Amino acid sequence: MGGYFRKQNLTEAKNRICSPNRIAIALSSLFLSFEKLKTKFFKVQSIMEVHLAFWILKWSFGWSGSEEVLGIDSWELGNELCGTGISANVDAKQYSRDAIALRKILNELYQDSTIKPKLLAPGGFFDQKWFSTFLQASGPDVVDVVMHHIYNLGPGDDPNLMHKIQDPLYLDKIKQTYKDVETTLKSFPWTSAWIGEAGGAYNSGGKTVSHSFLNSFWYLDQLGMTSTFNHKTFCRQSLIGGNYGLLNTTNFVPNPDYYNALLWHKLMGKNVLRATHNGSPHLRVYSHCSRTKPGITLLLINMSNSTSFDVSVVNDVKLHPTIEELKGEHAREEYHLTPKDGNLQSNVMLLNGSPLVLTKLLGIPAMNPVNADRSSPIRIAPDSIVFATLRDVLVPACA
């Protein structure tokens, strides 16, 4: 979420929402002169006034240095000021000096705490030369997480937005950025990569698209794709706000991508597996170890509006399983996602034919699978998405 919190608001959010649901809190610590921000396309000499930063962190939230105060998981330094920036930018070496200064402040404030918050930076669009210079200059034990932003669908008012979301060749263009980030960070092993902000289309997303079932193709494809390039976290823009919010901005009813996020978290474990197929590029396939053992979970995305696909799974570890192993002891668990009434721009998503809508008590509905014969192929209908958990597929990475 973006915005401003008082300590009371943040404490209430932590106690009522975050802690019960094991949600980590990351706060942005951007310290700039607002007078300077009146002039666009300027170069900022420093992102942070060190003394101001210290007192803001220590006193604005009633800080005592103990985790009982707020339990902040991580602090982000800056927002879209790297590379050429958005309206403003900071030199990479200056940014590194500011990061070092913030790390010293955090180390002092948390010296008696059992938790040590992560420092996240720079939170902007990837520029390989800038990021490399920044990480080289800041050195180890300063920046824990390198965050970059993704809005690869272009502006929200693009008349071709709907087509882009289901065009696999267009969606593949962002792969090079993810690969470049992964390659760059291999030289700085003390960091890991996060998508710090991603809403698909910028300028608040597409008015009739970003909150609909159609956006599921972009969102789940990005979750799968970033995982294969060793990105550890994907921060979706936004929970509430804009056309791309996970919740309706008026009544807070979940949009389809809210349920997509729940299913991803429920089914896809942290270990990423290599998954390939020899079919149409309109079929996307991703595979992880299952969140709950044993087995693996597949994510299959059919971006074609006319072709069904039948997918049979072959384990590369053992290319010739026996008939008994194909039958297995466990049925395959399938979650088929489709739009209500076949309307891709519907705000209601069906799970195995039943609409995902809040219960009478405004609770999240049950999200149960249908069972299928393990030896039969998985059928993915046109314009649909399937999660499939195979309990009998055992690979060393998931042991």
Q: Annotated catalytic sites, by residue? A: 80, 197
Burial (0-12, 13-18, 19+ Cβ within 10 Å), 133: middle
Q: Which helix (H) or strand (E) segment is 264 a member of?
A: helix 256-267
Structure tokens at 35: 């007078």
Distances (CA, A) of 125 to 74, 82, 190: 20, 7, 21
Partnered with residue 147 across adjacent β-strands are: 122, 194
Sort 67 into a burial class: Cβ within 10 Å, 0-12 / 13-18 / 19+.
Answer: middle
Distance between CA atoms of 180 and 128, rounded to whole angstroms? 7
Query: Can you tell me the distance from the alpha carbon of 80 to that of 259, in angstroms, rounded to the nearest whole number?
Result: 29
Cα gap 314→220, rounded to integer Å: 23
With beta carbons less than 8 A apart as the criterion, state whether 215 and 161 touch: no
Strand partners for 301: 284, 385
